[in-house]
């Protein structure tokens, strides 16, 4: 039986009062799943997961993590509560070394546990191990994304939340990032993911939601959504062909 | 020319550098120029003086630790003064800067720090009068150490103290979780929160470190020169010049910047006359801004 890790109910959120960007969205993520949130530009996908992570003010609804209400929790308490967020851009500290990027995120671990945990991340991401003394700003796009994900994983999150991990990456790195996420899920980590690259995201996802105007309008098994006519109508429309050809499979 | 300017310059540079650490940390972490930082120096010096007086009243006259001009009361008073100045900085942030910061306009916070600077200074004049005062009126004999340089025991002790404090702050910044959190916050405040850093806590640590070091700089000025309400305000330009020369956000940069400016000032006094001392920081500041605005240790944001 699957167990719900993240339960978002009727969430309303926005930067300015009276101007909600997320309008009553409800999604759930079960243990061990990869759930993808798709949607056209401006649908509020990013705002939805930023609100979940405590970065956009919430005006209504609830967010439950393992049954615990984390709706009003400040962003800096989220890792302690078990939710690790990877922003789309500027998701590393460019002037700090790779190792310090990892270490600074270990605030909630016991100091004695930290070195071993960093080594575990190096074992999982050998590219980072080779560059541990490099300033993170000098890493390639794909390696930066790796570092951002490793930094989020280092605190044993219950759920890993990613905002468009493939954005701005070359096709080679895009497939690398999605392979990495599939691997992370195999190790038992639950993942919630927002993506523009629908085809690649659906290929690794279990379930997906289509968000339109701040509310989920459709959901289903990821593998089936790609050919679902309702999805095509809601979101992909005529852009399906472009997406299919343009994205890395 | 005599090499005496080297000692004078290193001493002036130590005072400037200790102050510049606070300026550079405040600027990089809170993103505003705190013009009240110089007045933390003056408040630190007066607070230390007041504690020395209180210890004197309680324990009577205490002999200085030979060959220094001061005894243990000043050392104890300095530690209490550092704590008090740190708390003053923290209090000023709570009642003034934090509220204005929340409104999101940096220039308003900068202007407020000007106002705070004037208020702090006037308050000192009101409490202690504007007459210069001293920790000790004893005159120390400077000893020759070769190359035509003479130095007093107090000066040696204070140079060593500066070195220890700078090393300590550097280790704190690079080797501890608190220091890494400060670096993280200065590079990307939003991401710092995401990785679990309590921004309010880091801001508090920043103020306490800046205030405590300003106090040490103020006490150094008090021991080597004199204590006046204006003593810190006059350090403002050299401190900012040092912080910018070193590269905003860099602790070693601030100290090196301070030493360079201290040496340049002392050299200028010897070469072209004391009336040009104040112009030196200004000229260096302009030169840095034209030639290398990111400073010696600065890094371009990617």
> What is the tens place of the pLDDT at every residue in A145-187?
999 999 999 999 999 999 999 888 888 888 888 999 999 999 8
| Rounded mean pLDDT, A201-212 | 92
Nearest by Cα to A121 from A91, A154, A158, A96: A154
Please give, rounded to a whole number of angstroms, the shortest distance from the CA of B28 to a CA of chain A: 13
So what's the pLDDT on residue B295?
86
Q: Does pLDDT of A2 surpass 70?
A: no
Task: Return the bridge partners of A25, or none.
Answer: A11
Please give, rounded to a whole number of angstroms, the shortest distance from the CA of B107 to a CA of chain A: 23
| Rounded mean pLDDT, B112-122 | 94
Torsion of CA A37, A40, A42, A47, to 10 degrees: 0
Residue for token pair 């009243």: B57
Q: Which of B184, B194, B302 sits opposite A137 (nearest CB)?
A: B302
So what's the pLDDT on residue B1?
64
**Which residue in B has a C-alpha nearest to residue A100's C-alpha?**
B180
Nearest by Cα to B169 from B7, B2, B21, B19: B21
CB A249 within 8 A of CB A199: yes
| Rounded mean pLDDT, A96-108 | 95
Q: Is A162 on the interface with B (CB under 8 A)?
A: no
| Rounded mean pLDDT, B252-272 | 92
Task: Enter the tokens of residue B257.
Answer: 């910047």
Q: Which helix (H) or strand (E) holds A162?
A: strand A159-163
Query: How many contacts, defined by CB atoms under 8 Å, are there between A and B?
Result: 69
Helix (H, G, I), strand (E, B) or coil at A106: coil
Q: Which of A85, A87, A94 sits opposite B187 (nearest CB)?
A: A94
So what's the pLDDT on residue A1?
46
For residue range B226-243, what is the model confidence (pLDDT) as tens digits?
999 999 999 999 999 999
For residue range B41-99, what is the model confidence (pLDDT) as tens digits?
999 999 999 999 999 888 888 888 878 888 899 999 999 999 999 999 999 999 999 99
CA B164 to chain centre: 15
| Rounded mean pLDDT, B15-22 | 95
| Rounded mean pLDDT, A197-208 | 90
For residue range A34-92, what is the model confidence (pLDDT) as tens digits?
999 998 888 899 999 999 999 999 999 999 999 999 997 999 999 999 999 999 989 99
Rounded to whole angstroms, the Cα distance separating B43 from B79 reads: 14
Rounded to whole angstroms, the Cα distance separating A147 from A130 reads: 12
Q: Which of A96, A103, A155 sits opposite B187 (nearest CB)?
A: A96
Residues of A in contact with B184 (CB under 8 A): 93, 96, 104
Task: Return the bridge partners of A163, or none.
Answer: A194
> B177 and A100 in contact by Cβ < 8 A?
no
Residues of B in contact with A79 (CB under 8 A): 194-196
Q: Does pLDDT of A232 surpass 80?
A: no
Phi and psi (nearest 5°) for A72? -100, 15
| Rounded mean pLDDT, B245-267 | 93
Task: Enter the tokens of residue B19.
Answer: 């102050």
Q: Does pLDDT of A241 surpass 70?
A: no
Task: Enter the tokens of residue B18.
Answer: 């200790």
Q: For chain A, give the percent of residues with pLDDT over 90.
A: 69
Phi and psi (nearest 5°) for B55? -65, -40
The H-assigned helical ranges of chain B are 4-30, 37-59, 72-92, 98-102, 106-128, 153-175, 177-187, 189-194, 199-224, 236-246, 251-272, 277-291
List C-alpha distances in Å: A222 to A191, A195, A226, B219. 14, 13, 7, 68
- Cα angle B67, B68, B73; round to 5: 130
Q: Which CATH number fits domain A4-246: 3.40.50.300, 3.30.420.40, 3.90.550.10, 3.40.50.720?
A: 3.40.50.300
For residue range B187-205, what is the model confidence (pLDDT) as tens digits?
999 999 999 999 999 999 9
Q: What is the pTM of this model?
A: 0.89
Please give, rounded to a whole number of angstroms, the shortest distance from the CA of A182 to a CA of chain B: 23
Helix (H, G, I), strand (E, B) or coil at A17: coil
| Rounded mean pLDDT, A101-120 | 94
Please give, rounded to a whole number of angstroms, the shortest distance from the CA of A18 to a CA of chain B: 20
**Domain locations along chain B:** 22-231
Cis peptide before B67 (omega within 30 of 0): yes
List C-alpha distances in Å: A105 to A151, B6, B40, B180, B259. 6, 44, 33, 9, 35
Task: Enter the tokens of residue B206.
Answer: 């920043």
DSSP A161: E
ipTM above 0.85, yes or no: yes
List C-alpha distances in Å: B26 to A84, A168, B235. 29, 34, 16
Q: Does pLDDT of B265 surpass 70?
A: yes
DSSP B120: H
CB B69 within 8 A of CB B136: yes
So what's the pLDDT on residue A196?
86
Residues 218-237 of chain A whose Cβ lies under 8 A from any Cβ of chain B = none
């Amino acid at each position: 039986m699957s167990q719900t890790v993240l339960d978002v109910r009727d969430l309303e959120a926005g930067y300015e009062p009276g101007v909600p960007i997320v309008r009553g969205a409800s999604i759930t993520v079960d243990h061990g799943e990869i759930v993808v949130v798709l949607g056209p530009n401006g649908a509020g996908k990013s705002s939805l997961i930023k609100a979940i992570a405590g970065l956009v003010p919430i005006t209504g609804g609830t967010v439950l993590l393992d049954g615990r209400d984390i709706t009003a929790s400040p962003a800096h308490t989220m890792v302690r509560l078990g939710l690790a967020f990877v922003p789309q851009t500027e998701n590393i500290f460019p002037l700090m070394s790779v190792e310090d990027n990892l270490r600074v995120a270990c605030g909630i671990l016991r100091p004695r546990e930290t070195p071993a945990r960093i080594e575990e991340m190096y074992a999982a991401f050998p590219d980072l191990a080779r560059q541990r003394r490099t300033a993170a700003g000098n890493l390639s796009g794909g390696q930066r994304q790796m570092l951002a994900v490793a930094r989020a994983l280092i605190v044993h999150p219950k759920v890993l939340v990613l905002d468009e991990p493939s954005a701005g990456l070359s096709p080679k790195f895009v497939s690398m990032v999605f392979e990495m996420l599939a691997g992370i899920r195999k190790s038992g980590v639950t993942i919630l993911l927002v993506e523009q690259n629908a085809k690649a995201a659906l290929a690794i996802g279990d379930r997906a939601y289509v968000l339109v105007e701040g509310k989920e309008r459709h959901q289903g098994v990821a593998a089936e959504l790609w050919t679902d006519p309702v999805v095509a109508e809601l979101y992909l429309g005529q852009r399906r062909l472009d997406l299919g050809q343009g994205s890395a499979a | 020319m005599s090499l005496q300017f080297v000692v004078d310059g290193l001493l002036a540079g130590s005072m400037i550098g200790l102050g510049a650490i606070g300026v550079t940390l405040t600027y990089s972490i809170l993103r505003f120029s705190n013009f009240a930082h110089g007045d933390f120096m003056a408040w630190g010096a007066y607070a230390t003086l007041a504690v020395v007086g209180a210890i004197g009243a309680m324990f009577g006259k205490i002999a200085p630790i030979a060959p220094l001009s001061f005894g243990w009361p000043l050392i104890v008073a300095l530690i209490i003064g550092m704590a008090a100045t740190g708390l003053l900085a923290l209090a000023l942030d709570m009642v003034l800067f934090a509220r204005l910061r929340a409104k999101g306009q940096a220039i308003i916070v900068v202007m407020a720090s000007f106002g705070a600077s004037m208020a702090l200074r006037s308050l000192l004049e009101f409490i202690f009068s504007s007459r210069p005062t001293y920790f000790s009126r004893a005159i120390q004999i400077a000893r020759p150490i070769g190359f035509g340089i003479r130095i007093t025991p107090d000066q040696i002790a204070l140079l060593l103290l500066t070195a220890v404090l700078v090393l300590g702050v550097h280790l704190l910044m690079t080797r501890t979780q608190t220091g890494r959190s400060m670096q993280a916050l200065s590079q990307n405040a939003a991401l710092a929160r995401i990785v679990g850093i309590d921004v309010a806590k880091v801001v508090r640590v920043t103020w306490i470190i800046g205030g405590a070091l300003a106090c040490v700089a103020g006490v150094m000025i008090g021991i080597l020169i004199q204590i006046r309400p204006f003593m810190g305000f006059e350090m403002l330009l050299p401190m900012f010049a040092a912080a910018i020369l070193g590269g905003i956000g860099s602790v070693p940069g601030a100290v090196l910047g301070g030493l360079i400016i201290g040496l340049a000032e002392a050299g200028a006094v010897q070469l072209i006359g004391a009336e040009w001392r104040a112009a030196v920081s200004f000229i260096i500041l302009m030169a840095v801004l034209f030639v290398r605005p990111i400073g010696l240790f600065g890094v371009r944001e990617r």
